[in-house]
A and B are shown apart, each in its own frame.
Chain A
């Protein structure tokens, strides 16, 4: 199996400053900085990670890998099946969040890191953070699950279903073998992205950003082309996404999130599922997030408190919806900076 990963910063002599960052649904291993000065964009969490930033690479050794099933270097549906010499496509096994975490564990072992200082991630990354804490309780000092949930809600599953339906009903889908047929279900994948993108925003943020503004026109066209700014924006997001992501991977990864249910570790009992965790928790939610609403984090916090675990919980007041976890840099950054500094201090004091 192949795992693509990137690191930033330097591992200290006793290997105690390593932080695993886990990306969300469509992220990749390129978490911060630029590969070359000509790069248009830095890594996906460059606002948070880097020298002097919330997660300071002068202090910490940061690791980020592309998830299992992804399309950015780690083994997934695009990889070649050694038995057939062809891409797996839909013959790739359906994977779970726990499988993604097992792959990351293999990477951490490979790097020779005995214990991580922290495992940090938002959204689907946060699901993996929770899975880490439950599956490998002694592998980390602390965890920071952000804007996430202990189990995918019916609403979340519903949006994923529509996304996959859009892909799989695209005439260019060819049962997942679109490459072999020189096709690409780009329209379907684009629609899937547009739907998902709406769930990352909020009514407030959409009103503020677009309102009923028209896109490059003075009045309604009274046809079905783009009139509103929000329509153009979604279309643009869909197109941009199709350029960088693969339809099969999208199906596999969303399916993994659908199956995510931390309580499965203990027959549906969240309190029991969290019984053995040893990490200190910093749980963060965002007030306007309706994909993984604060109530989901409350449930997690309550279950941790029932187990008398050390937990800190902050619900950041923000209008950005689910996307806030990438946008509320100042608030989130200072919280994470302070929390990690104290955790590092505790490690050094032992």
Chain B
């Protein structure tokens, strides 16, 4: 499972999110996997953490990792979490799997003083080339699935995501492109060269 956060070093977006966490911050990770990222945030960044995870097996591994976790299907309302009750709400490469990404975004911006969302860029040149020259659904290290077995039902591009954030009236505090190979070009033309992006969002 790619969300197991096992190779923290391999996930540049998680490094970026980690750098956004201040000591003693209350951090909520939606779709926290086995909790190893939250464990890192607590042990190395001094955060107070909570994870939500739908998969019972991964919940068990969070417990082993000593990370507080609530087994929850967050396509059901998160209304029990109070407004601004967390300093940072994290959604890392999870949005594309959710049924109503726009509603979920509104929820996390409500719950968190800030929200860090890591999105996969479907407009990365590798995806574009696979579609254009091979005529096949793109597969990349970020989206390694076949069209028939993918959990990703709402993939977007960086530009798409930015547009949605504007439509929903969020303030985009920061936008950090996640490069695979061309860091400078990724900064200049993220929607073509970056494999993903981390957005730091806030309710206006």
Contact = CB atoms under 8 A, between A and B. Distances in A.
Contacts of B26: 308
B63 A314 contact: yes
A312 B64 contact: no
Contacts of B71: 313-315
Contacts of A311: 68, 70
A237 B59 CA distance: 35
Interface in A300-338: 301-302, 305-306, 308, 310-317, 331, 334-335, 338
A312 B81 contact: no
B80 interface: yes
B70 A312 contact: yes
Interface residues on B, range: 10 to 19
A282 interface: yes
A342 interface: yes
B56 interface: yes
B196 to A, nearest CB: 30
A136 interface: no
A339 interface: yes
20 contacts: A282-B63, A301-B70, A302-B80, A305-B80, A306-B80, A308-B85, A311-B70, A312-B59, A312-B62, A312-B70, A313-B69, A314-B60, A314-B63, A314-B71, A316-B56, A317-B56, A334-B60, A338-B64, A339-B63, A345-B66
Contacts of A342: 63, 66
Contacts of B50: 305
B39 to A, nearest CB: 11
A314 B72 CA distance: 9
B155 to A, nearest CB: 29
Interface string B29-73: 000000000000000000000100000100110111010111110
A317 B62 CA distance: 17
Contacts of B66: 342, 345
Contacts of A335: 60, 63
Contacts of A305: 50, 70, 80-81
Nearest to A303: B80
Nearest to A304: B70
A342 B60 CA distance: 13
A302 B72 CA distance: 11
Nearest to B64: A338
Contact of A331 (B60, B62, B82): B60
Interface in B162-199: none
A316 B60 CA distance: 10
A88 B146 CA distance: 72
Contacts of A339: 63
Nearest to B51: A312
A312 B50 CA distance: 9
B68 A310 contact: yes
A310 B68 CA distance: 7
Contacts of A314: 56, 59-60, 63, 71
Contacts of A338: 60, 63-64
A342 B65 CA distance: 8
A312 B68 contact: yes
